[in-house]
Amino acid sequence: MTMSDDNGVVNHVAMLPSAGMGHLTPFLRLATFFLSHNIKVTLITPHPTHTPSESQLLSRFQSSFPQVNQINFNVESSLSTQSPNSHIAIPYFQMIDDIRTFAAKALSHLLSSLSPPLSFFVSDYFMLSSVLSITQSISLPNYVLFTSSASFFALFSYFSTLPSSLSEHETVEIQGIPPIPISSISPYLLVPNSIFKKVFIFIEDSSQITKFDGFFINTFEALEQQLLEAVNASKVLPGMPPLLPFGPFVPCEFEKEGDQWRKPLKWLDDQPRGSVVFANFGSTTEFGWDQIREIADGLVRSGIRFLLVVKDKKYFNEDDKKEEAGLQEVLGYELVDRIRDKGLVMKEWVYQSGILSHEAIGGFLSHCGWNSIVEAAWNGVPIFGLPQRGVQKMNAEVVERSGWGTWNKNWGWIGECLVKGEEIGDAIKVFMNKESFKIKASKIKVAARKARSVGGDCEVTLHKLFKK
Ligand code: UDP
Ligand code: UDP
């Protein structure tokens, strides 16, 4: 299916991701989907990026797709705090602010000057209100890529209509969707006027959401059918523009870095099918070393083979932090000794999608970042959730509701209080032996592949979009 219109005019889309691997990765995966349907893509990104991992990913993307029109803009205040070789990540909130400043100053002119003229613009949901007035002023259709679940989208779109004293309630009840326990909502969202709310949920008025042309989301029907239906039937918010599932976003070749991604796969080649639990907790982590030690101890106690990826707090990839602690220092000598022969522990960036697709993997101990969940769904790997922050508990609930994984609600936000190795070990043993998770996860995988097949849901959605 090609995407030029009836007069042979090329369709052209501009995209503005937000900072962070968890945002850039889904944008690039969606861009790759557009490119594979002959849509011209202009990608607008800050320079320097929030982390070096992002700039490395962008340059690999550029090498794979030289036809993409890649536009960098300088993030001035961030530049002043970062020397080119410092490898210090630019503070996240500052970066978001800089992207917004750029949008206010230069986006209108940039978008209007692109050739051929744009069919539409795709912005990140972290910068909703900063772009709407701009695209409205130049009459450019504006879609938003929501990089989280439909479940969180429902809460997000409904948020400004909720009472400010939410913490006094036990659940948030939104029409058409399962009640959301207050304990699953980030404390940052429950505090009135928190900086987090100001920066991310800068929707003082939900009706603004209805002014966008639509929201793209990395999910698919089999994963979140009830939520997608409720939002699209305007049950959550009247006058809602379409919420268009383009998921699952498929991991791409350009994401592999050099040769290092092969290392854990070689180890996995020697392990029996479905025997290994893979533990990895996102591109950044909130865990302190004490919790990481308990997790490693739990994995050893479980008796299950494991592949554990350890990162320092706020560690992004190996180039981001040169003076990091060694594995022995993080885990302690005794634990490293006990791990011998039971599992592989890595303290570096791994190619997660590749690991999840390996047949030796039988389960995933995950922080429940949304990208990780969709990658696990794509590969049919059951999840045991250890949510740390943000929307991760809500994400864990999506998995639990669709029956291919679980999490322990009594453990709260992991990292807040210490969960001991004994408990973790017991939970992993039960999880890895649960047949129903495996069956459900295989079904999810089949549905995921179907949604992305030729003529599947994603192509149908794309086709409708351009017809419009
Ligand atoms: N990731 C990876 N290797 C790592 C850690 C993370 O490839 O060692 C990738 C992972 O596959 C996913 C993204 O980084 O695509 C993390 O996104 P997610 O939404 O799961 O979590 P976040 O890091 O945003 O909390
Ligand atoms: N963040 C935070 N507390 C939260 C949620 C997020 O400090 O409760 C910070 C987090 O460290 C990250 C940024 O806000 O740098 C974006 O967080 P989110 O989990 O929404 O990112 P994503 O998973 O989408 O990358």
Catalytic residue among 12, 23, 358, 367: 23
Residues 206, 268 within the same domain: no
In degrees to the nearest 10, what's the CA dihedral of 375, 33, 134, 238? -60
Q: Quick check: is 114 in a domain?
A: yes
16 lies in some domain: yes
Q: Which atom of ligand 2 is nearest to the CA of 369?
A: 23
Residue 2 in domain:
no
**Ligand 1 mean position to 72 CA, how many Å?**
23
Residue with the smallest CA separation from ligand 2 atom 12 is 92
DSSP label at residue 278: E
- Nearest atom of ligand 2 to the alpha carbon of 389: 8
Backbone angles phi, psi at 405, to 5 degrees: 175, 180
| CA angle, 364 then 366 then 369, to 5° | 130
Query: Which ligand has the shortest distance to the CA of 18?
Result: 2
Mutate to test the pocket of ligand 2, among 217, 389, 394 (most ligand atoms within 8 A of CB): 389
* Residues 170, 35 share a domain: yes
- Name the closest-CA residue to atom 14, ligand 1: 283
Q: Is 124 a catalytic residue?
A: yes
CB of residue 21 inside a 6 A radius of ligand 1: yes
In ligand 1, which atom is closest to the CA atom of 349? 8
Task: Specify if 35 maps to a domain.
Answer: yes
Answer yes or no: do 67 and 201 share one domain.
yes
From the CA of 29, which ligand is nearest?
A: 1
Task: Output the CA 20–ligand 2 centroid distance in Å.
Answer: 9
The ipTM, to two decimals, is 0.86
Same domain, 160 and 54: yes
Domain that holds residue 85: 12-252+455-467
**What CATH code is carried by the domain that includes residue 418?**
3.40.50.2000
Instruction: Give the predicted TM-score (pTM) of the model.
Output: 0.91
CA of 390 to the centre of ligand 2 (A): 6
Terminal C-alpha separation, the chain: 16
Sign of the Cα torsion 401, 404, 409, 414 reads: negative
Q: Are residues 244 and 344 in the same domain?
A: no
CA of 196 to the centre of ligand 2 (A): 9
Q: Is 23 a catalytic residue?
A: yes
Is residue 204 domain-shared with residue 285, that is, in the same domain? no
317 and 345 part of one domain: yes
6 within a domain of the structure (yes/no): no
In a domain, 237, yes or no: yes
Strands 40-47 and 305-309: unpaired
The residue annotated as part of the active site, out of 50, 98, 124, 358, is 124
141 with 39, same domain? yes
Domain total for the chain? 2
CA of 308 to the centre of ligand 1 (A): 14
Output the residue whose Cα is nearest ligand 2's atom 15.
92
123 ligand 1 Cβ < 6 A: no
The answer to whether residue 1 is domain-embedded is no
Residues 200, 170, single domain; the answer is yes
Asked, for residue 5, whether it belongs to a domain, the answer is no
Ligand whose nearest atom lies closest to the CA of 194: 2
Distance between Cα 166 and ligand 1 center (Å): 30
Shared-domain flag, residues 67 and 104? yes
Looking at the fold, whether 285 and 212 belong to one and the same domain comes out as no
pLDDT, tens digit only, all 468 positions of the chain: 445 555 666 899 999 999 888 899 999 999 999 999 999 999 999 998 888 889 999 999 999 999 999 999 988 665 555 544 444 456 777 888 889 889 989 999 999 999 999 999 999 988 887 899 999 999 999 999 999 999 999 998 888 777 777 777 889 999 999 999 999 998 878 877 766 666 665 566 667 889 999 999 999 999 999 999 999 999 888 899 999 999 999 999 999 988 878 989 999 999 999 999 999 999 877 788 899 999 999 999 999 999 999 986 544 444 444 446 788 888 989 999 999 889 999 988 899 999 999 999 999 999 999 999 999 999 999 999 999 988 999 999 999 999 999 999 999 888 788 999 999 999 999 999 999 999 999 999 999 999 999 999 999 999 999 887
Q: Cβ(370) to ligand 1 under 6 A?
A: yes
In 3D space, the residue among 241, 242, 13 whose CA is nearest the CA of residue 119 turns out to be 13
CA angle 403, 409, 412 (to 5 degrees): 140
441, 460: one domain = no
Could you please report the per-residue DSSP string of 193-220?
T-HHHHHH---S-GGGGGGSSEEEES--
